[in-house]
Amino acid sequence: MSTGSNRTYCDGVARRDFIQIGALMGMGLGVNLPMWESLRASTPDRSGKAKSAIFVRLMGGPSHMDTFDLKPGAPSTHRGEFKERSTLVPGIRMCEHLPRLARTNDKFSVIRGISHSLAAHELGQKYLASGNRPIASLQYPAYGAVVAREIGSTNALPPFIAIPSQSDNPTGYLGMQYGPFETGRTPQKGQPMRVRGLGLEQGMTLEDIQRRHNLVQRYDTAFGTLAQEDKLLAGMDEFSQKSYQMIRSRETREAFDLSREPESISSLFGESGFSQSCLLATRLVESGVPFVTVSFGGWDTHQDNFSQLKEDNLPQLDDGLGGLFEALHAKGLWDSTVVFVTGEFGRTPKINERGGRDHYPRAMVALMGGGGIHGGQAIWRIGCKRAKAPKDRIFTPDDLAATLYRCLGIDHHKEYLTPTGRPVMLVRNGNPIQELLA
């Protein structure tokens, strides 16, 4: 479904629903070359520390060089207008317009020098949301869908909630029953979020809801055993069960009610939609939701990169993430929640003639913190000039995915069977980033 968070990207396309990966993608052409050899033998999986994850998607591709990976030594054609500032962690510097994050960066780590080669939004987003480079013949599931399947619901709340939406076919080969519950809008400060259809409507009681649910079950028998075999029917049944639990549950209604949040917590957040989304994410995690996606659009800064970042994006990011980190701490959720913040790619080091930066998958930056993550680091970096070989290693989105799964205690080498019976590994090409693991 379409939602307010969707922005139109440089190619004029507002992403909606799932876009078939068209022919833009490389296919397995018989020769699959891992770009970099893995430098470390994979170590045995240890059980994850985190019970929940919050995945913050900066849609459009934030400029790494104007956020967490500034290059003050670069020529003026590249380095940008922003200055670096020191942070709580000696030796780590970041953009001057992220004061709050600079004060809280003992909690999270900055991963620089992440690199891939998909410069289109939808492909990059799919890659970063799944840890698998998209291919035409197979749709990979996003993390949330995997968590929905591996961890599942701990209570009446759905296991995978997207604020406000995540609609690029995030379930892939796992099937639609693992899809996200989309709030459909961003929450507003101090308001119970009225998620349409979750209230007790028309004076109905919980007994009514239960009676009605039984009634549907009694009449919904036309397809017999096909209901278990058919993907569509199985998906509908799954949602039917789920919606029954959700509508019945008081827990559900309260989880979406930001007005129940004490002042000490709600005051940590700004009023922007992103900030409030972060607040909602903490509430949902507190209520036992294992995976929450927060999408924050507007990072596709082909023009006026600096004024847009300075006036709009960075203050919101600073407030939202700062609040998120602090609130998780305050609620005692920090060690059981892993937070992963990323865009789909970085932006070109060279500033274009419109004062913007264009797509640049060769270098990007991500943040990770929380349960299982060793915070207060900035790890690895590559040079800013495109053609130069990286100084050290390059991280891939696959590595980030493997790290995330490790934190959640999910074996990233687990194999699933697709509906056609093909075995597929959860993340084949990535390895957890050891420096990050606490």
Partner 1 sequence: MMMAALLGEPTVSAAGTQPAVSEPCDLRFGGTGDEVPVSFRRHVIPLASRLGCSSRECHGSFQGQGELRLSLFGYDFEMDHQALTAENDERIDRNHPENSLILKKATLQEKHRGKKRMDVGSWEYNVFLNWIKSGAHNDAETSGAFLKLEILPSQIQFLRSGELVELKVLAHWDNGDVEDVTGMTRFQTNDESVATVDKRGVVTAVGSGDTHIVAFYDNGVAPVEVLIPWDSELARKYPALRTRTEIDRLVLAKLSRLGIVPSEVCGDEDFLRRVRLDLTGTLPTPDEVMRFLHDPSPGKRQAKIEMLLNTPEYAAWWATRLCDFTGNNNQQMPERNFRNEFSTQWWEWIHQRITQNVPYNQIVRGIVLASSRSSPQESFEVYATEMSGYLQKNEPGSFADRPSMPHFWARRNVRTADEKALSISHAFLGVRIECAQCHKHPFDQWTQQDFSQFKDFFEPVRFGRNPADNPKQTGKSYASILAEIEESTGYDRKMGTNRKAFDEEIKRRVAMGEPVPWQEVFVDQRFSGSPTLKNPNQKRRLNTRVLTPKLLGGEAVMLATYSDPREPLMDWMEDRENPYFSRAFVNRVWAHYFHRGLVEPADDMNLANPSVNEPLLDYLAGGFIESGFDMKWLHREILTSDTYQRSWRPNDSNRYDERNFSRMILRRLPAEVVHDAIQQATAPSSEISHMPSKIDGRAIGVKSSILSANTRNGLGYALNVFGKPERLNNCDCERSNQPTLLQTIYTRNDPDVLTAVTGKEGRTYRWADEIREQLRSSAPAQNKRADRKSIQSELQKVRVAYQDHTKNKPVPPEDPDPAAQQRYRKSMRQYQNQLQALKEERDNLVSRLESPSADSPTSQNQVALEKAINEVFLRTLSRLPLSHEFQNAMHDIHSAPNAADALSELLWALLNTKEFLVNH
Find the binding residues for partner 1 in span 22-51 (CB under 8 A): 22-31, 33, 35-36
Q: Could you give the 3-state DSSP secondary structure of residue 368?
A: strand
416 interacts with partner 1 by CB under 8 A: no
How many amino acids of this chain bind partner 1 (CB under 8 A)? 73
- Between CA 383 and CA 13 the distance in angstroms is 32
Nearer to partner 1, 248 or 331 (CB): 248
- Name which position in 129, 157, 247, 341 contacts partner 1 (CB under 8 A): 247
- Token pair, residue 239, equals 């949602």
What is each CA distance from 218 to 226, 229, 244, 407, in whole angstroms? Answer: 16, 19, 15, 42
Say which residues have a Cβ less than 8 Å from residue 192's Cβ, sequence separation at least 6: 253, 256, 257, 258, 259, 260
182 binds partner 1 (CB under 8 A): yes
CB closer to partner 1 out of 326 and 399: 399
Q: How far is the CB of 7 from partner 1 (least distance, A)?
A: 12
- Least separation in angstroms between CB 124 and partner 1: 13
Q: What is the C-alpha separation between 254 and 193, in angstroms, rounded?
A: 9
Cβ-contact 285, 333 below 8 angstroms: yes
Which of 321, 57, 284 minimizes the C-alpha distance to 181? 284
DSSP state of 197: T
Q: Is 185 in the site for partner 1 (CB under 8 A)?
A: yes
**237 lies in the binding site for partner 1 (CB under 8 A):** yes
CB 407 within 8 A of CB 48: yes
- Binder of partner 1 out of 78, 96, 99, 117 (CB under 8 A): 117
Tell me if 326 contacts partner 1 by CB under 8 A.
no
Which of 39, 44, 76, 201 contacts partner 1 by CB under 8 A? 201
Burial class (CB in 10 A: 0-12, 13-18, 19+), 235: middle
Nearer to partner 1, 28 or 152 (CB): 28
Among 47, 76, 264, 420, binds partner 1 (CB under 8 A): 420
Rounded CA Rg of the chain: 22
* Closer Cβ to partner 1, 17 or 271, answer by number: 17
Residue 176 in contact with partner 1, rule: CB under 8 A:
yes
Position among 127, 386, 415, 433 found at the interface with partner 1 (CB under 8 A): 386
User: In the complex with partner 1, which residue's Cβ is closer, 261 or 300?
Assistant: 300
Q: Which of 229, 271, 304, 415 binds partner 1 (CB under 8 A)?
A: 229
Please give the Cα distance from 394 to 113 (Å, whole number): 6
Q: What is the Cα–Cα distance from 303 to 351, expressed in whole angstroms?
A: 9
CA atoms within 13 A on the CB side of 376: 6
Q: How far is the CB of 313 from partner 1 (least distance, A)?
A: 21
Rounded to whole angstroms, the maximal C-alpha distance in the chain is 71
Nearest 5°: the CA angle 242, 246, 250 is 155
**Could you tell me which stretch among 2-10, 105-113, 297-305, 306-314 binds partner 1 (CB under 8 A)?**
2-10
3 state SS of 250: helix
Asked if 192 touches partner 1 (CB under 8 A), the answer is no
The binder of partner 1 chosen from 10, 74, 106, 236 (CB under 8 A)? 236
362 binds partner 1 (CB under 8 A): yes
Q: Which is nearer to partner 1, 24 or 88 (CB)?
A: 24
Residue 17 as a binder of partner 1 (CB under 8 A): the answer is yes
Q: Is 242 in the site for partner 1 (CB under 8 A)?
A: yes
* 121 binds partner 1, rule: CB under 8 A: no
- Taking the CA of residue 338 as centre, how many other CA atoms within 13 Å lie in the half-sphere pointing to its CB? 30
- Interior CA angle at 177 toward 173 and 281, to 5°? 105
Q: Taking CB under 8 A as the rule, does residue 288 contact partner 1?
A: no
**Taking contact as CB under 8 A, which single stretch among the options 100-108, 195-203, 268-276, 313-321 is the one that binds partner 1?**
195-203
